[in-house]
Amino acid sequence: MDEHRSSIELRLPSRLGFEKVAMNTAASVANLMGFSSERIEDLKTAVAEACINAMEHGNKFDDTLSVGVILSMGPDTLEVKVLDTGNGPQSHMAAPDIDKKMHEQEEARGMGMFLIESLVDEVEWVSSPPAGSYARMVIRLHPAKQ
């Protein structure tokens, strides 16, 4: 594959189910770049969760608003930005506490950001109202060398 940085852009409706378009596109790109199947599975979950967050919390499931997805390929990194029109997360998401969930002291939902943080090598949430916000995720072919 060409070592120059190149990118792919998608625009998804803010409708559940379409996150799989981004997820499968990211998986295809990562496969072309030579990522292992385990890392590709990690990326698929992270991209799907970021898109769902953007549809739900960013765009409030407004069908007239799109979720943008930009995949940028570097020599040994794949960066995925997921953009929406919201203000971004208002607080850092704590790790889920399964005991609290099982005792109904914490909502059963709310694990998306935790999974994203756990599954990619780098993640940041950038808020720039009124333009919107984005999640930026990076996976590396050789994480130990970075």
How far is the C-alpha of 11 from the C-alpha of 21, rounded, in Å? 10
Binding of other proteins by 41 (CB under 8 A): yes
Q: Compute the least distance from the CB of residue 37 to other proteins, in Å.
A: 9
Binding of other proteins by 16 (CB under 8 A): yes
Q: Compute the least distance from the CB of residue 136 to other proteins, in Å.
A: 19
Among 22, 29, 49, 58, the residue binding other proteins under the rule CB under 8 A is 49
Among 98, 128, 129, 143, the residue binding other proteins under the rule CB under 8 A is 98
Residues 107-136 that bind other proteins (CB under 8 A): 107-112, 114-115, 118
Residues in contact with other proteins by CB under 8 A are 15-20, 38, 41-42, 45, 48-49, 52, 96-99, 101-102, 104, 107-112, 114-115, 118
